[in-house]
């Protein structure tokens, strides 16, 4: 990584003793014969263990910092073509790091996020999207299930059993829970032709509801955005509750301070079109086109949102 991992030089205890006691009187308190070597041996073992722990900790922090920097570089890029061309190198690098450190939670979460973002934001071929979201979901499970195995064991159970297990365990590590839920959602979205996969959406919704119950503003309102999309699938005539989706979209916009332009695009695409509200639809999309794209960790998403807004306005839906 560029940083030296060699152990710092320590002066040995015997060298210090020789320098400080030369030509001095014999100490009053002598070490008991046989115990001095054992004490020094224990001291060396403790120092060695401390150095190894420090080096291991530094390596872990370096890996976490690198993973964070890779994600930040991708999310803050304003040219999607650069990301589309360069992201595979990032992903391969993370794959290699995870292979060498399969239990590193920060690497697993970063890998899940980046694979998911790349698949859902920049790839259009269905087969590739399925493959990439599969990797995203696998990394998320490795991170989450190491901490909450009992929940993972219930993913194939009935919804009520799954929800009861989640509520009983009450996972409090929101970052783990969020990546697990959103990567699962991305995996399902890539398999929208699979009724078995779609049947798990209520489970994902339950996980996201737990997140917003504890932190409604989580991830600049992105948890709200996911719920907005989920609640805007069916019109009222078919039993849908799009007004719940509308409320989540409004909260997503509020919690991002209006900076998350994808929230407005999805609001227009999912809700306004569903209820045939053209004035709302067009207003939201024109606001997206007029807004600046640059925002911390939202720039790439906002550039893509602007591109999608243009296409939606050209589409003669109404």
Reported as type and span, the H/E element at residue 9 is none
Closest CA to 210 of 259, 242, 176, 240: 176
Q: Is the pLDDT of residue 6 over 50?
A: no
pTM score over 0.75? yes
> By the 8 A CB rule, do 113 and 71 touch?
yes
Closest CA to 185 of 153, 227, 154: 227
Query: Which residue ranges form the domains of the chain, and what is each CATH number?
Result: 59-204 (1.25.40.920), 216-317 (1.25.40.920)
- Other beta carbons within 10 angstroms of residue 88's beta carbon come to 10
Closest CA to 274 of 241, 305, 252: 241
- pLDDT per residue over 73-118, tens digit each? 889 999 999 999 999 998 999 999 999 999 999 999 999 999 999 9
> By the 8 A CB rule, do 174 and 214 touch?
yes
pLDDT at 71: 81
Q: Is the pLDDT of residue 249 over 60?
A: yes
Interior CA angle at 137 toward 134 and 141, to 5°?
Answer: 140
Separation between Cα atoms, residue 211 and residue 206, nearest integer Å: 9
Q: In the chain, what percentage of residues exceed pLDDT 90?
A: 74
Tokens of 236: 């009222």
Q: Is the pLDDT of residue 35 over 80?
A: no
């Amino acid at each position: 990584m560029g940083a030296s991992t060699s152990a710092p030089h320590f002066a040995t205890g015997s060298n210090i003793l020789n320098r400080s006691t030369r030509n001095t009187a014999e100490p009053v308190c002598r070490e008991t014969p046989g115990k001095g070597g054992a004490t020094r041996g224990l001291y060396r073992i403790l120092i060695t263990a401390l150095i190894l722990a420090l080096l291991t900790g530094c390596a872990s922090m370096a890996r976490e910092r690198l993973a964070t920097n890779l994600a930040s570089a991708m999310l803050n890029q304003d040219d999607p073509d650069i990301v589309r061309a360069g992201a595979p190198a990032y992903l391969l690098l993370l794959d290699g790091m995870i292979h060498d450190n399969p239990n590193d939670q920060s690497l697993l979460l970063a890998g899940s996020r980046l694979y998911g973002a790349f698949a859902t934001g920049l790839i259009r071929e269905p087969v590739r999207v399925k493959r990439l979201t599969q990797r995203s979901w696998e990394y998320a499970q490795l991170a989450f299930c190491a901490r909450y195995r009992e929940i993972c064991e219930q993913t194939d159970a009935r919804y009520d059993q799954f929800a009861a297990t989640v509520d009983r365990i009450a996972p409090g590590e929101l970052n783990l829970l969020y990546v697990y839920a959103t990567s699962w959602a991305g995996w399902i979205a890539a398999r929208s032709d699979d009724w078995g996969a779609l049947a798990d959406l209520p489970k994902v919704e339950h996980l996201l509801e737990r997140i917003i119950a504890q932190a409604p503003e989580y991830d600049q309102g992105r948890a709200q955005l996911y719920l907005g999309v989920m609640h805007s699938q069916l019109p009222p005539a078919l039993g849908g509750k799009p007004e719940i989706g509308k409320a989540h979209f409004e909260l997503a916009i509020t919690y991002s301070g209006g900076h998350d332009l994808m929230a407005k695009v999805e609001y227009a695409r999912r809700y306004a079109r569903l209820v045939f509200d053209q004035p709302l639809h067009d207003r939201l999309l024109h606001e997206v086109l007029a807004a600046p794209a640059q925002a911390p960790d939202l720039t790439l998403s906002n550039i893509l949102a602007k591109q999608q807004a243009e296409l939606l306005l050209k589409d003669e839906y109404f």
